[in-house]
Structure 1
Amino acid sequence: MDNNPLLNYSIFPPFSSIKINHVKEAVQKILTNCYNTVDQIVSEKRITWDTLYYPLMIAENELQRIWSPITHLNSVQHNLALRKVYEESLSFISEYRNWINQHDGLYKSYQSLQRGDSGQKLSVIQKKVLNNILHNFKLSGIYLSPQKKKIYAYITSRLSRLRSNYANNVFDATLGWSKLITEKKLLSGIPDHALEIARLTAQARGEKGWLFTLQYPSYSSVLFYCDTKELREELYWAFNTRASDQGPNSGKWDNTLVMDEILALRYELAKILGFRSYFEKSLSKRMVQSPKKVFNFLMNLSIQIRSSEYKEFLEIQNFSKKNSSCISLNPWDIAYYREKQKQYLFSIKNEELCCYFPEKTVLHGMFAVVNRIYGITIKERSNVETWHSDVRFFDIFDGEDRWMGGFYLDMYLRDDKREGAWMDELVGKMYRNDTISQKPIAYLTCNFNCSENQKSSCLLTHHDVMTLFHEFGHVLHHIMTRIDIPEISGVNGVPWDALELPSQLMEKFCWDPDVLQLISMHYRTKESLPGYIINNLLKIKTYQSSSYLLRQVIYGLFDLRIHHEYIPGEKRSALKIFNEVIKQVSTCHLSMDWDRFPNSFLHAFSDDYSAGYYSYLWADMLASNVWCRFQELGILNSKIGKLFLNDILALGGTIDLKKCLVKFCTQTMTVEPMLKYYGIPVSVDHSISI
């Protein structure tokens, strides 16, 4: 055990040394320490912050330090052997979580601390932590009878396994289908760089031709650009039936029964805790406290957007008829004709635009942006061990050149890597009484399409650039914190429906002309992005924006309804509710009877956005209001940047976020700035404010 790398590292995990047999051993050792720590602290007669919270904080941090690398490797180097040991260890951790969350002795100790003399002497931040802990105990069923506690423990453990099963089915279904094309004429319209990646993908599998997969960069290259309608249809069919009873692998990784059980157990869990629905339970830690308010927010948004969405659909329909003699649009035609119309209207081709966004220039420009607005400096460190040769590490320093923490950057798509883009934490900022305080370390993960021979000058789409900025916003939120108690440091303790605020704010910088000059340079000519391209690119920001927003409304309403309207025994499947929402909200949504979107909707069934997907739109509303304030004083103005950093970003879960945002924006926040940002007419009859 002394040689277990998970148990013997200081700051950075030795990823290349971690083996499958290390995982269970490390988890069990650390969990034993956690159990013993709880037993020890509840036996203490004198209850203070240092005898109660501090030792458990240290023990829980050790658990985070070994479990985070395992969880991360399960996402970025996924294989069946790791999956098995990960799920076994996850069950042990779930068992521990249930034990500690319903530990009467520990709960009473925290109550005693709050009520006692030492509790009155705690700092404001410590009192906030204490309130959060006691609230979490209540949400974990501390008041339940012994019998109901057993039911609660079973449900939470089972849900943990089902969430993992759902994600595994999507992962396997995504990798379980591919299409080899041997006739190049069938690939007309697909950009050269995408074709080259498809050729190299086929070559890596011992095939000749061009291989396309259901990983999103590959799938979208066909759906957006391929002139062969039949090929677009086939990939659309395969992608939108993943993990279901339909499609090319029908029934093989079907999530239908998994979804049914997840919803049933979530409902039962909520009822045991005294909530009317799981959605109501989820709102107990959010800015929005009422399901009705969330519903009204989404419905009012849909009313504001619907007429613009219908107009956008007609524009695509008329364009396709006029330019391609397309009689009727199918779902696999929409993205294709949007790209065609975009090129026609704005004279921008993604392949041409990519030439101005080489990865190195984008990163350097992004770091320059945050240097100017926040006064921070970012430098690459070369001697940090990683899990893949493509992964890099960067340090972040404040304005006085003090090390604030750092992040791993994993940019590229791989077969053993889960889809999407995300930020996660290795560790959070934490004080220690006996040694140097712990600095926050994060993972920034993307899945950009780049072949091996392109990585020296990987070219990004503007959408890739936005994704990178978005996830970097989360990284800054985590690392730039001034709070050194993990419970409320960085992204922790922040209302979940505001968690996307810093990331959505960072996205908006990608549309500013001055920022575009900073993050762009032609990879061959070294010329800056020309003014006419910038002007046309800015017009794209509002192009078909109503369709995008209404799609987010549909996802949010679907997530709300499956979690708030659930009735035991009623045969209303998730798919049926999804189709009801589409008919209720959209004026022109095209779908097929075999479409199974809910079966691969990870946010609703497999991660922390379950019963809270509306958060993306809510946080976008907040970010749009903040963006208006930046625009008033100058996008790259360090004064407003440091005000946002010091008064909001760096304070984690310690503040009343609503009050702080109203103070920062100097006015009540409403939905109007978001609608104006996307170029959507504002109706005062349906104004929304927080």
Structure 2
Amino acid sequence: MYNNESLHSFVFPLFSSIDPKYIKESIQQVLTNCYNTVDQVVSKENITWDTLYYPLMIAENELQRTWSPIVHLNSVKHNLELRKVYEESLLLISEYKNWINQHYGLYQSYQLLQNGDSYQQLSIVQKKVINNVLCNFRLSGVDLSLKQKKRYIYITSRLSQLSLSYANNVFDATLGWSKLITEKKELSGIPEGSLENARLEAQAYGKKGWLFTLQYPSYSSVLLYCDTQVLREELYWAFNTRASDQGPNKGRWDNTIIMDEILALRHELAQMLGFNNYLEKSLMKRMIQNPEQAFNFLANLSTQICHNEYKEFLEIQNFAKTQYSCTSLNPWDLAYYREKRKQYLFSITPEELRYYFPEKTVLHGMFLVVNRIYGIFIKERYDVETWHPDVRFFDIFDDENKWMGGFYLDLYLREDKREGAWMDELVSMMYRQDDISQKPIAYLTCNFGRLDNKTSSCLLTHNDVITLFHEFGHVLHHVMTRIDVPEISGINGVPWDTVELPSQLMEKFCWEPDVLRLISAHYQTKEPLSDYIINNLLKTKTYQSSSYLLRQVIYGLFDLRIHYEYFLGKQGNALKVFNEVVKQISTHHFPKNWERFPHSFVHIFSDGYGAGYYSYLWADMLASNVWYRFKKSGTLNPKIGKLFLNKIIALGGVIDLRKCLIEFCEHAVTVESMLRYYDLPIPADNHLLT
């Protein structure tokens, strides 16, 4: 049934053969080929797509195939030896990227191609690629003076180093603190599964008791459930002072100076290219086109939810006072009492729900969902080498059983693994003139805590399920593409503030009764979630939703402001601006003077979301509009699923996404759908929502 020639001809990385001693040499070899290819293509007299772009595409794809597994291992199998050679190799790649992005001869060749007779014969995809390449040249300073180019190269190389240092500091600070508890009574309230994880963690270090760390599954189990306030406070303090001048490891992995330099260099870079600030530069490739629109989007959203958010806080405050005699809510109390009230209102405990979401059942159900919507099939393959025994590989086939690509699945928390969840690409879809097509392959990475060995499968929380669906949405976006040029294939080439659209959409399926029945089965009885539990779970969807949304608004506004209002030489500005934004918007929570959230905000200082964190809310707004189009036709309706796949997901960076979304949703895209989704008041002045 799944006999595809391209499936068997694809060459996968041999992760066990990647020796740090030889990484730099391998990178140098593949870069030499890239340099030589550039020299060859600019020497051609007859400039066509096949003589100019195609050879470079093949050379840079080889670089991607070589470098991607190394980047990935540095995130999921991190050690100091690999870190060192990774950083050295990254400098070589940055040097090449700067060289090619400012190669005036290559730039002229692309201009000649665009203005030549053969341009009109190119496909829409090829024309889009050429336009993107020329835009990238200009945004990389190809027209700068020689002196400015040297400065530009220094800045981009330095920013690459600083972003890496920032992320390393957060990684080290997260692993650099732990707390051993020897008296179980101090852990009252924490679910048994989380306690077992903590016991196994202590056992791994030859200790008796329960070891808690700042890795999120461990940290959140204390903040959400632990009845011992002093323990919640201690973990909150350690977590919210990571990589800073405060906390238990103050000054050891301090990101203060790094943040200052990142912001200064980003601002200088933007001004060098003719922009007033880094935010303007960042928005050049977004759906939102100017700073005013970005600020207005968040400000209007804030206006719609602030009143509701304060109401939610008063409800928690009153509940804590009447039920637990708590007269003063500290930051480390809020999540705890939110969770207590949720259990009180909806009779749902995290442990009870977890028993219904064994990993195998969730995966099987998730694959059934996308099969029904998009007509695709997902099948595990066992002969693909991985970097850890727990990692699995899955092939994706279309409705004609043709292999479309695949993904690695790495679900579990490990000490040598970067925190969080993400999708990254091994390779993109790419055509070749020798008829050996390249299919897209992705990495899907999470950090779920493994439970005790009483169960045959890892048990997930409902939040874990949402996270898995989210990252799987990115995988589908990458693999389901029909564009065979990596520049604009899959997640590449789409406006960055819309890249979260497919993932935010997938999250919403986790709240559908039909889907919940597909992805649930009690690990012992095999019974799916009952209607009673589903009804109670659905009530939690909008529970404290304003608090969540306002937190995202704060993060987004903080990010916009530090990249828009930069003042030269102003040290410590990031923390100052963050505290200002919180005081301006928050109705009740003001950070303690020792809190240092910006120091571990990896998304904007290291992960590519700088001057673009608003994208999560913007994409959620788009996804809410798309979602109601799905709801209108039936959530698992294959007709509407195929329409979304064929008109939006599969076409990536080629389409006018704004126009396509309006056509798909059958109305103007507005914030109203998002407010409706979260059960928030919709203002009468509707034009503000467009």
Q: Tell me the TM-score normalized by structure 1.
A: 0.98
Q: Residues 163 and 325 (structure 1 numbering): CA distance in 2 closer, same or farther, change over 3 Å?
A: same
* Distance (Å, rounded) in 1 between the aligned partners of 2:670 and 2:297: 11
Deviation for aligned residue 1:570 = 3.4
Look up the match of 2:246. 246
Inter-partner Cα distance in structure 1 for 2:238 and 2:669: 42
Correspondence list, 1:528-547, <5 A:
528-547=528-547
Number of the residue aligned with 1:33: 33
Aligned to 1:606: 606
Q: Could you tell me which amino acid in structure 1 is paired with residue 530 of structure 2? A: P
Residue deviations 1:97-155, cap 9 Å, x none?
00000000000000000101111211111101000000000000011000000000000
Distance 1:495 1:684 in 2: 31
Amino acid aligned to 2:340: K
Paired with 1:334 and 1:426, the residues of 2 have a C-alpha distance of: 40
> Following the alignment from structure 1 to structure 2, what is the Cα–Cα distance between the partners of residues 599 and 223?
20
The offset of 1:332, in angstroms, is 0.2
**Residue in 1 aligned with 2:223?**
223
Which residue number corresponds to residue 165 of structure 2? 165
On the 8 A contact 2:193/2:452 being kept in 1, the answer is: no
Q: CA deviation at 1:569?
A: 2.5
Deviation at 1:17, TM superposition (A): 1.4
Q: Work out the percentage of aligned pairs sharing the same amino acid.
A: 74
Partner of 2:669: 669
Task: Please give the secondary structure, in 1, of the residue aligned with 2:378.
Answer: strand
CA deviations on 1:562-599 (whole Å, 9 max, x unpaired) are 00100112356111100000011111124211000000
Match for residue 156 of structure 2?
A: 156
Equivalent residue runs for 1:60-209 within 5 Å? 60-209=60-209
Deviation, 1:214, is: 0.1
AA matched with 1:437: S
Deviation at residue 232 of structure 1 after TM alignment: 0.2
Separation in 2, partners of 1:554, 1:454: 42
Q: Is the 8 A contact 1:200 1:451 kept in 2?
A: no
Which structure 1 segments of 5+ residues have no match? Answer: 1-8
Contact map agreement 1:554 1:581 (CA 8 A) in 2: yes
- CA shift, 1:22, in A, is 2.2
- Kindly indicate whether the alpha-carbon contact (under 8 Å) linking 2:395 and 2:405 is maintained by their aligned counterparts in 1: yes
Residue 399 of structure 1, CA deviation: 0.2
Q: In the alignment, which residue of structure 1 is the partner of 2:280? A: 280
**CA contact under 8 A between 2:196 and 2:452: conserved in structure 1?**
no
Distance 1:10 1:633, change over 3 A: closer
- Contact 1:671–1:687, Cα closer than 8 Å, also in 2: no
What SS does structure 2 have at the residue aligned with 1:308?
helix
Counterpart CA distance in 2 for 1:69 and 1:114 is 34
**Equivalent residues of 1:262, 1:605 under 8 A apart:** yes
Q: What's 1:491 paired with?
A: 491
Instruction: Write the letter of the residue equivalent to 2:379.
Output: K
> Residues of 2 paired with 1:208 and 1:325: CA distance?
34
Q: Residues 454 and 126 (structure 1 numbering): CA distance in 2 closer, same or farther, change over 3 Å?
A: farther
- Name the residue aligned to 2:442: 442
Matches within 5 A, 1:253-272: 253-272=253-272
User: 2: CA distance between counterparts of 1:583 and 1:238?
Assistant: 23
Q: Deviation of residue 454 (structure 1)? A: 6.2
**1:682 offset after TM fit, Å?**
1.0
Q: Displacement, 1:93?
A: 0.3
Alignment check: 8 A CA contact 2:270 2:281 kept: yes
Shift of 1:455: 7.4
- Structure 1 Cα separation of the partners of residues 590 and 341 of structure 2: 19
Question: Do the aligned partners of 1:668 and 1:689 also contact (CA within 8 Å) in 2?
Answer: no
How many residue pairs get aligned? The number is 682
Summarize the Cα distance change of 1:687–1:412 in structure 2 as closer, same or farther, 3 Å threshold. Answer: farther
Alpha-carbon contact 1:283-1:289 (below 8 Å) kept: yes
Q: Map 1:563-642 to 2 at 5 A.
A: 563-571=563-571, 573-642=573-642
8 Å Cα contact 1:411-1:446 kept in structure 2: yes
Which deviations, in whole Å up to 9, do the C-alpha atoms of 1:586-644 show, x marking residues without a partner? 11124211000000000111111111000000000000000010000000000000000
CA–CA separation in structure 2 for the residues paired with 1:249 and 1:378: 46
CA distance in 1: counterparts of 2:331 and 2:466, whole angstroms:
25
Any residues of structure 2 matched to 1:555-566 within 5 Å, and which? 555-566=555-566
Contact kept, 8 Å, 1:304 with 1:686, in 2: the verdict is: no
Take 1:620 and 1:679, find their aligned partners in 2: how far apart are those partners?
14
Which residue of the partner structure matches residue 649 of structure 2? 649
- Asked if the contact 1:330–1:590 (Cα under 8 Å) also holds between the matched residues in 2, the reply is no
The answer as to 2:407 corresponding to 1:393 is no
Distance 2:247 2:344 in 1: 34
The 2-side partners of 1:358 and 1:583 are apart by 42
1:282 CA displacement: 0.3
One-letter identity of the residue aligned with 1:320: A
Following superposition, the deviation at residue 671 of structure 1 comes to: 0.2
Report SS of the residue matched to 1:196.
helix
The residue matched to 2:445 in structure 1 has which SS? strand
> In the aligned structure 2, how far is the partner of 1:163 from the partner of 1:599?
12
Contact 1:466 1:507 in 2 (8 A): yes
Alignment of 1:341-352 (within 5 A): 341-352=341-352
Determine the structure 1 residue equivalent to 2:54.
54
Deviations 1:68-98 (A, max 9, x none): 0000000000011100000000000000000
Q: Distance in 2 between matches of 1:156 and 1:89?
A: 15
Residue 418 (structure 2) aligns with = 418
Deviations 1:136-195 (A, max 9, x none): 000000110000000000000000000000000000000000000000000000000000
Matched with 2:337 is 337
> Could you tell me which amino acid in structure 2 is paired with residue 373 of structure 1?
I
Residue by residue over 1:624-671, the C-alpha shift from the partner in whole angstroms, topping out at 9 and shown as x without a partner, is 000010000000000000000000000010000000000000110000
How far does residue 461 in structure 1 lie from its aligned partner after superposition? 0.3
- 3-state SS in 1 of match to 2:344: helix
Secondary structure, in 3 states, of the residue corresponding to 1:453?
coil
